[in-house]
Amino acid sequence: MAPTGLIIASLVGAWFMYQIGYMIYNVYFHPLRKFPGPKLRAASQLIPFYHMLRGNMDIEMRKLHAQYGEVVRHKPDGVSFITAQAFKDVYGQYGSNSVPKDHHLYQNQDGEAADIVTAINDEDHSRLRRALAHAFSEKALREQEGYIKEYIDLLIEKLKGFAASGKAADLVAWYNFTTFDLIGDLAFGKSFGCLANNQYHSFVGFIFDSLPAFPWMVVMREYPVIQMMLPFIMPKSAKEGSNNVNKYSNSTLDARLQRGVNQERRDFFWYVLRGKDEKTKVSDEELKHTAKTLIFAGSETTATLLSGVTYWLCRTPDAMKKVTEEVRAAFQAEDEINVINATNRLPYLLACIDEGFRMYPPVPGGLPRRTKKGKTTMIDRWEVPGDTNVSVHQTAAYWSPLNFNRADEYHPERFQPGWDAPDSPWKDDNKAVINPFSLGPRNCVGKNLAYAEMRLVLARMLWNFDMELLPESKGWVYGQKAYGLWHKPTMNVKLSLRKRG
């Protein structure tokens, strides 16, 4: 063999030996060796990465928890939990006890300004969170209600067209149109016009099309060699799509920043720019970056919950009947439906939403945190060594019979008064584990806005329409892939204008 060939063969051989040694170490000597889980997953990242790239990671995680119970070592450096106490310990801690976001996942691209979700260090995060606070206050929400209504009016008007023609409406798309238009208006100062044009704006379309690429970014961070090759292997269409999206958001946000507070519409920027002061010290670049994050964080998630609740109501005729009757009895006329009335008069609708969060949480997996290096962290009753990736897996926790009776069935009654009566089937349900907006200092800043949107959209839908899932969508929820967020297929629904009694 030529010397070069010999050198390459030796290097490859050494690499294999190293990998085998590394796997043996991971299984038998690693500080996480005592946690239950499959040996192959403990040995190497390859299996978790494989499932992640195929969109099956969450399906597999649910299987692992079903097999191993409340805690599972699902990768060499990662442990997943499904208990309520673990949720508090992983996400709900402040200050020196907090478990930081895992920098393997939460990262800015080189040279990019921090944004509220990816900011790992507490100072950057709390600066950005303070800057956003006024835009998410109760006062702001009251002012935003009018904008929410504008988009729901348009949604209902468009859907009446479907009811009149008898054509199937893909409610996943229509809910997305509504929530993206609204958040576009509030975060970019300009709606995407999806409802008006009956289609996704290219910015929104690109976000959805690139969802399956998200796990590739995670894998690339572990294998920088692949990352280096990215510019050469990335399809031209993806490069162009990404450039167009950046151009659109930069020009829209520049225009919005220029208008400053000199506009009547009180969108997020109006509040942020008015409250911007020496203490917040947020740069325009950080604001622009955070605005893009708001679009993603605030739209798809809300539309997902709306889709999930609609699906489960259509599949559960008793609940659909009860909630429809509640909505139609609570108001004399449609224009009485506002946030305050919907909050006070529609308790069963709220139970339907909360059970929707359990059955179809918009963030289906575990949000990764990493224990501090050199420090053992108590998570529930488990001692977790430093530098471990930890998370609570939402769907594995919410669909587990360890936490819920008849866990795979939709029962809003779990959230109704009397749920804890001695003869109630739901009395042992472990509802404290349900935290779809997460907990603690990094929880969702848009929770109240999301609840307002969800209540109003669903109340208006039930006020106006009878809904029936078409046969092709009866199994909509089963086997769905997820790439951090659900990859939601079309959900075809037949809408009929309600018959006035």
**Known binding residues:** 444
Q: Identify the three-state secondary structure at position 258.
A: helix
Smallest gap from Cβ 403 to ligand HEM, in A, equals: 18
Q: Which of these ranges, 51-59, 163-171, 274-282, 435-443, lies near ligand HEM under the rule CB under 6 A?
A: 435-443
Among 52, 71, 116, 396, the residue binding ligand HEM under the rule CB under 6 A is 116
Q: What is the dihedral of CA 266, 304, 51, 110, to 10 degrees?
A: -10
Q: Which residues contact 490 (CB under 8 A, 6 or more apart)?
A: 170, 172, 173, 473
Query: Closer to ligand HEM at the Cβ: 70 or 102?
Result: 102
Query: Closer to ligand HEM at the Cβ: 173 or 295?
Result: 295
Is 86 near ligand HEM (CB under 6 A)? Answer: no
Is 356 near ligand HEM (CB under 6 A)? Answer: no
Other residues' Cβ atoms within 10 Å of the Cβ of residue 336: 12
Query: Closer to ligand HEM at the Cβ: 62 or 494?
Result: 62
Scan residues 292-311 and list those touching ligand HEM (CB under 6 A). Answer: 294, 297-298, 301-302, 305
Among 320, 349, 445, 467, the residue binding ligand HEM under the rule CB under 6 A is 445
- Strands across the sheet containing 169-170: 169-170, 492-497, 465-469
Q: Which of these ranges, 23-31, 197-205, 330-338, 360-368, lies near ligand HEM under the rule CB under 6 A?
A: 360-368
Smallest gap from Cβ 485 to ligand HEM, in A, equals: 10
Q: What is the dihedral of CA 28, 32, 36, 42, to 10 degrees?
A: -60
**Which spans in 69-113 are helix H?**
84-91
Is 461 near ligand HEM (CB under 6 A)? Answer: no
Among 437, 465, 476, 483, the residue binding ligand HEM under the rule CB under 6 A is 437
Query: Closer to ligand HEM at the Cβ: 62 or 442?
Result: 442
Is 276 near ligand HEM (CB under 6 A)? Answer: no
Smallest gap from Cβ 491 to ligand HEM, in A, equals: 17
* Pair 142, 266: CB distance under 8 Å: no
Query: Closer to ligand HEM at the Cβ: 83 or 118?
Result: 118
What residue type is assigned to position 143 of the chain? Answer: E
Query: Closer to ligand HEM at the Cβ: 186 or 384?
Result: 186
Is 364 near ligand HEM (CB under 6 A)? Answer: no
Is 51 near ligand HEM (CB under 6 A)? Answer: no
Query: Closer to ligand HEM at the Cβ: 77 or 300?
Result: 300
Give the single-character DSSP code of 170.
E
Smallest gap from Cβ 7 to ligand HEM, in A, equals: 45
Q: Which residue is nearest to ligand HEM (CB)?
A: 446
Query: Closer to ligand HEM at the Cβ: 118 or 464?
Result: 118
Query: Closer to ligand HEM at the Cβ: 37 or 298?
Result: 298
Smallest gap from Cβ 176 to ligand HEM, in A, equals: 13
Give the single-character DSSP code of 383.
E
Is 362 near ligand HEM (CB under 6 A)? Answer: yes
Picking from 295, 303, 320, the residue whose alpha carbon sits closest to that of residue 454 is 303
Scan residues 322-351 and list those touching ligand HEM (CB under 6 A). Answer: none
Query: How far is the C-alpha of 81 from the C-alpha of 58, rounded, in Å?
Result: 13
Query: Closer to ligand HEM at the Cβ: 135 or 168?
Result: 135
Q: Could you give the string, one character per residue 163-202, with x where binding to ligand HEM holds by CB under 6 A and - elsewhere?
A: --------------------x-------------------
Query: How far is the C-alpha of 496 from the C-alpha of 464, rounded, in Å?
Result: 8
Smallest gap from Cβ 303 to ligand HEM, in A, equals: 9
317 burial (CB, 10 Å; 0-12 / 13-18 / 19+) is: exposed
Query: How far is the C-alpha of 488 from the C-alpha of 477, rounded, in Å?
Result: 8
Please tell me the count of residues contacting ligand HEM according to CB under 6 A: 22
Is 436 near ligand HEM (CB under 6 A)? Answer: yes
Query: How far is the C-alpha of 129 from the C-alpha of 125, rounded, in Å?
Result: 6
Query: Closer to ligand HEM at the Cβ: 48 or 368?
Result: 368
Is 98 near ligand HEM (CB under 6 A)? Answer: no
Picking from 310, 307, 314, 311, the residue whose alpha carbon sits closest to that of residue 468 is 314
279 burial (CB, 10 Å; 0-12 / 13-18 / 19+) is: exposed
Picking from 43, 83, 46, the residue whose alpha carbon sits closest to that of residue 402 is 83
- Strands across the sheet containing 78-81: 71-75, 78-81, 389-392, 369-370
Among 444, 456, 457, 469, the residue binding ligand HEM under the rule CB under 6 A is 444
Beta strands per DSSP E along 6-129: 71-75, 78-81
Picking from 239, 241, 260, 237, the residue whose alpha carbon sits closest to that of residue 249 is 241
Is 131 near ligand HEM (CB under 6 A)? Answer: no
Q: Which residues contact 229 (CB under 8 A, 6 or more apart)?
A: none
Is 392 near ligand HEM (CB under 6 A)? Answer: no
Picking from 171, 402, 167, 257, the residue whose alpha carbon sits closest to that of residue 392 is 402
Query: How far is the C-alpha of 204 from the C-alpha of 257, rounded, in Å?
Result: 21
Is 365 near ligand HEM (CB under 6 A)? Answer: no
> Which residues contribute to the site for ligand HEM (CB under 6 A)?
116-117, 129, 183, 294, 297-298, 301-302, 305, 362-363, 367, 436-438, 442, 444-446, 449-450
